[in-house]
Amino acid sequence: MRVLIAGAGLAGLCAARELARAGAAVTIFDARDRPGGRVWTARLERDEHGELGGEFIDSDQQTIRNLVRELGLELVRVLPGGFTHRFRGNDGRYHVSRTRPWAALSECLDPLVRRYKSARGNTSAEAVREMATISLREWLRRHEASRELHSIANALRGFFLADPDDLSVLPLVEQLADGGSPAQAEMYRVAGGSDRLVNALVASIPARQLLRHRLRAISHPTDRVVAHVEDERGHAQELEGDAMVMTLPATALARVDIRPSLPGDQQRAIAAQRYGCATKVLIQSPRDLFDGRKARAFATDTDVGAFWDGADGRGTLLTFLGGGCASRRLRARADAAAHSVLDELCWLGMSSASVTTMRVATWEDDPWAGGGYAYLDPGFDPAWRPLLRRRAGRLVFAGEHTSEEWQGYMNGAVESGLRAAHELIEKPPQ
């Protein structure tokens, strides 16, 4: 079986590895000049590194943890204290707390959580589909939430990459129903950088790998698949296979001309999938910027969004993530100067810190991603989720946006790539 794989991110690389191990002849191609997709490690001074893309792995994300172990890599526990929230209270002053924000959100959303549990989390249930049409902001307004609770909701931009006005209340309900605060989960990173996982996957795949090859169109008649691509010199090429794994984000997939067209309901679901605005900024300093504080990660409602110790406890690297409307604000500050970013942290005494290096990535400006990762807005019916990964003859679909349980996570990308590979292995095209 000859298999084409569009996209050399984690989903594509995992699908390629699994298919090659099963004896398939694999060709994987990507429009970027590097593999990894939205996993992007920056190599900095003093042998430090920071993550401009995917970074954290939770303790219960067994698929990616198993993959790391199989490839001979290690995980390192980071941010054991979790995230602390900084938000403006009803008195107009800022407050800092690890537990109060999630307790307040849990209380406010309790009626929806109970309704969700009664439906047993079935996203096709009418009650769940109905609550998905409500934005988080709308729910807070309906229940006359306090100014403080609105501020707490704004601080979630660093997690969901969407503002409360644009985010369906359902993902937060699911989070509260399934495990509570993600800010206090056990978090890990790949030791040495997430790109070590990418590089290990690339090295393990006996496949033809083509970079700087942009997918323009797909023809999939009954007997084969033809990918119409454009190389870095603008030359058109045709790649032919028996099947194809599509791992492009929905933003990029929607621009590919597919003939014959996908079924209308599947096209609608792909077009409706939203991706959060996200800017990550890495600021390196020669000293511990946290000055020995136990709290090493914060979620805020300010221009800088969330920020944390990106240097495994040394505090010499700050990682910022501005989600939703904070993405552009953080980018503007970074474009002005590193100290324009640090000025927002005067309450931690960081505004006068010396800066060695700064690196910036704004994912909604990336033409191959169109955003940080997928999120659920009130216009996306959760009953459409299976359509994002539904097979269409010789075409199978993967990518973090197709993961039912781990949408938005590296684990979701890995899981989806393995699932897509096994769809073809267990039921090859005839």
Place of tokens 């190599």: 43
User: Is residue 400 pLDDT above 90, yes or no?
Assistant: yes
CB under 8 Å to 48, separation ≥6 — which residues? 284, 311, 316, 317
Angle between helices 410-426 and 10-21 (to 10 degrees): 30
The pLDDT assigned to 353 comes to 83
Is the distance from CB of 289 to CB of 353 less than 8 angstroms? Answer: yes
The tens digit of pLDDT for each residue in 239-292 reads 999 999 999 999 999 999 999 999 999 999 999 999 999 999 999 999 999 988
Residue 211 CA to residue 311 CA, distance in Å, equals 31
The tens digit of pLDDT for each residue in 165-205 reads 999 999 999 999 987 677 778 999 999 999 999 999 999 99
Place of tokens 């920020």: 307
The pLDDT assigned to 314 comes to 85
The tens digit of pLDDT for each residue in 142-170 reads 999 999 999 999 999 999 999 999 999 99
What single DSSP character describes residue 167? S
Angle at 227 between CA 222 and CA 232, to 5 degrees: 175
Is the distance from CB of 415 to CB of 429 less than 8 angstroms? Answer: no
The predicted model gives 105-120 an average pLDDT of: 95
Angle at 43 between CA 42 and CA 48, to 5 degrees: 115
Residue 359 CA to residue 29 CA, distance in Å, equals 27
Amino acid making up residue 192:
G
Is the distance from CB of 220 to CB of 32 less than 8 angstroms? Answer: no
User: Is residue 425 pLDDT above 80, yes or no?
Assistant: yes
The pLDDT assigned to 258 comes to 98
The pLDDT assigned to 382 comes to 96
Residue 87 CA to residue 335 CA, distance in Å, equals 25
The predicted model gives 353-359 an average pLDDT of: 92
Q: In terms of residues, how long is the chain?
A: 430
Question: Residue 89: in which H helix or E strand, if any?
Answer: none
Residue 149 CA to residue 228 CA, distance in Å, equals 50
The predicted model gives 219-234 an average pLDDT of: 95
Prediction pTM value: 0.95
The pLDDT assigned to 220 comes to 96
